[in-house]
Amino acid sequence: MEIEIDERTQQCSRCRQYRPIFEYRGLTETYEMTFYNNCAYCRRNNQLKDRRLVQVVIFRRDPARVIQIMLSQRIHPDKPYFNMMQGTGGKVDVYTDNNGHEILETEEDAAMRETLEESGIILEEEKLQKIWSETVPSQLERTARRCNVQDATYNVTLSIFIYPWDWIQEPIATEPDKSSDWTWHTFQEVIFMNLIPMLQKNQNFIFQEIGKYFNYCEIESLDEQEENDISPMTEITFNNFKKKTEKLTTKDIIAIEKYKKGVTFEINRLRGRLTKINKYLNNNYGRKYLQIFDFQDRNKVAEKVNCLPTLEEIKQNAPTEYSKIQNNVYRYTVHETGDKKNILCQLKI
């Protein structure tokens, strides 16, 4: 079938054929996504023998504070794992850049791409958390069914990611011929479901990792004004707060961050003041009288005499260093200028 070349097609950099651009329809707009310079047909015939599959489990906590995960059912009768429940995900692709070099997509990029293609949800990479990975020998790349090594055709690396839903992007069944609508399910419901093997094997572990996320903090979406209205924690409040064992809220974290910023500013201010005090003590409280000595002798004299030594005190308490003054007095008084000459005058040399 001949494809009409227009703004909805793009030329593949590998086979030079024109292919349709992938699109998906959102709630209000139609979004256009082109992830590679070469087409899906070239990518499909250009895979590595070592395959990688990713699954993303998107989770939330409903108004009743019950943890739920987002799943859909595989409904294509000719595809593996027919009628089983799954998250978003698929295989990590190999694509060709403009220079003809084959590049393996990262697992994170594959997770974000597959989620967008299958549900229309755009993931933020910094919130994507990898919790499990395993490499198994397999005869079938797509199903990753474990087999004896001698019978294997592929080494398939399976990886599971979890991701907190933002309550803004509604999941859309963008591939209705392959999977059903996206629905939310609790742990009590999931344990009776027929999941794909990767999720079935790790369902307890997945909910444990999600539970750790909520035990650490409860994420809220705050605008700039709401963040500005939060007052920094005081020292007394923080000392009482750190004894608590309850999970942190977003407002707690922001208040602690503001308290930390204030403490850091105060430390820097006091550090600058301490530097000025030390400089004053060293230069204006008698240490300047010792500058006629080199560094080592200066410290020795400082240990033996007070901060405002007279020539007689230096002679009595530091005779070795005093002899150096006597030997160099002519050079200091005649040839030196500035502070050292003034110091010698004050010492009445």
Q: Which domains does the chain have, with CATH numbers?
A: 1-38 (no CATH), 47-217 (3.90.79.10), 286-346 (no CATH)
* Helix-strand-coil split of the chain, %, nearest 5: 40, 20, 40
Cβ(348)–Cβ(311) below 8 Å: yes
Per-residue model confidence (pLDDT) at position 163? 94
What is the distance between the alpha carbons of residues 169 and 119, in angstroms, rounded to a whole number? 10
Per-residue model confidence (pLDDT) at position 332? 42
Per-residue model confidence (pLDDT) at position 272? 83
Take residue 241 and report the two structure tokens written for it: 């707060």
Per-residue model confidence (pLDDT) at position 188? 81
In terms of Cα–Cα distance, which of 12, 76, 88 is closest to 45?
A: 12
Take residue 163 and report the two structure tokens written for it: 């991701």
Per-residue model confidence (pLDDT) at position 88? 93
Cβ(214)–Cβ(62) below 8 Å: no
What is the distance between the alpha carbons of residues 8 and 23, in angstroms, rounded to a whole number? 9
Per-residue model confidence (pLDDT) at position 334? 43
Cβ(182)–Cβ(173) below 8 Å: yes
Per-residue model confidence (pLDDT) at position 26? 44
Find the helix or strand (DSSP H, E) in which 321 lies. Answer: helix 319-330
Per-residue model confidence (pLDDT) at position 161? 95
In terms of Cα–Cα distance, which of 69, 347, 64 is closest to 206?
A: 69
DSSP state at residue 146: B
* pLDDT, averaged in runs of 10, over the chain (349 residues): 54 60 47 49 51 91 84 90 92 76 84 92 89 82 68 80 88 90 89 88 85 66 77 81 63 81 86 78 54 63 64 74 59 48 53
Per-residue model confidence (pLDDT) at position 46? 45
- CB neighbours of 128 closer than 8 A, spacing ≥ 6? 56, 108, 111, 112, 161, 163
Residue with token string 């444990």: 208
What is the distance between the alpha carbons of residues 89 and 132, in angstroms, rounded to a whole number? 14
What residue type is 193 in one-letter code? M
Cβ(281)–Cβ(287) below 8 Å: yes
- Can you tell me whether residue 207 is helix, strand or coil? helix
Could you give the residue ranges of the DSSP H alpha helices within 164-318? 187-190, 197-201, 203-216, 224-229, 235-241, 250-284, 295-304, 311-317
In terms of Cα–Cα distance, which of 195, 158, 204 is closest to 81?
A: 195
